[in-house]
Amino acid sequence: MSNCVFCKIIAKEIPGEVIFEDDSVLVFMDIKPVSRGHCLVIPKKHFADVVEAPEDLVTMVILATKRLALAVEKAVGAHGFTLSTNRGLAAGQTVFHLHFHIIPRFDNDGLKPWTHHEIEPKTISEIAESIRKNL
Ligand code: AMP
């Protein structure tokens, strides 16, 4: 995709701090890291998000993410990591080329991305049933 910033990194049209690449996957440092060592794992072929990409490619990206995450954790002395991918503006997606974030986590790093809510068990059951129907 000609106007995709990640495709431009793959094509070396713009700089990227690349950590790893093979025929299918590229891993590079996030330009505005959430934590020290934050990097991104992308397929070389352009797909907007995890739903748009074919299953074999998603599998490859996830396996690379797992492998790289352990290396990142070790490299920066992290105590764990958060893996995530966004789909859609509502989820906060800003670059529409499938990517998994590897976000190293440190004890007491204060990063709290999720707010939990109290909810009636009946409502949980209704939502679960709706999801089952959409499988
Ligand atoms: P998302 O909000 O899930 O779409 O994440 C996009 C990520 O891409 C953000 O964490 C950005 O900081 C990162 N990003 C955007 N442009 C670049 C770039 N040129 N090089 C590296 N990371 C980038």
pLDDT of residue 113: 72
Residue ranges of alpha helices (H) inside the chain are 5-10, 55-76, 121-134
In tens digits, the chain (135 residues) has pLDDT values of 789 999 999 999 999 999 999 999 999 999 999 999 999 999 999 999 999 999 999 999 999 999 999 999 999 999 999 999 999 999 999 999 999 999 999 999 999 878 899 999 999 999 999 999 999
Confirm if 41 and 102 have CB atoms less than 8 A apart: yes
Question: What is the C-alpha separation between 132 and 47, in angstroms, rounded?
Answer: 27
- Tell me if residue 122 falls in helix, strand or coil: helix
Confirm if 65 and 17 have CB atoms less than 8 A apart: no
Q: Which amino acid belongs to residue 112?
A: K
Give the torsion through C-alpha atoms of 94, 23, 30, 108, to 10 deg: 110
Question: What is the C-alpha separation between 2 and 14, in angstroms, rounded?
Answer: 12
Q: Which of 31, 35, 100 to mutate to test the pocket of ligand 1 (most atoms within 8 A of CB)?
A: 31
- d(CA 32, ligand 1 centre) in Å: 7
Question: What is the C-alpha separation between 22 and 25, in angstroms, rounded?
Answer: 6
Q: Whose CA is nearest to atom 20 of ligand 1?
A: 31
Q: Whose CA is nearest to atom 1 of ligand 1?
A: 93
Which pTM was predicted?
0.96
Which residues are designated catalytic? 99
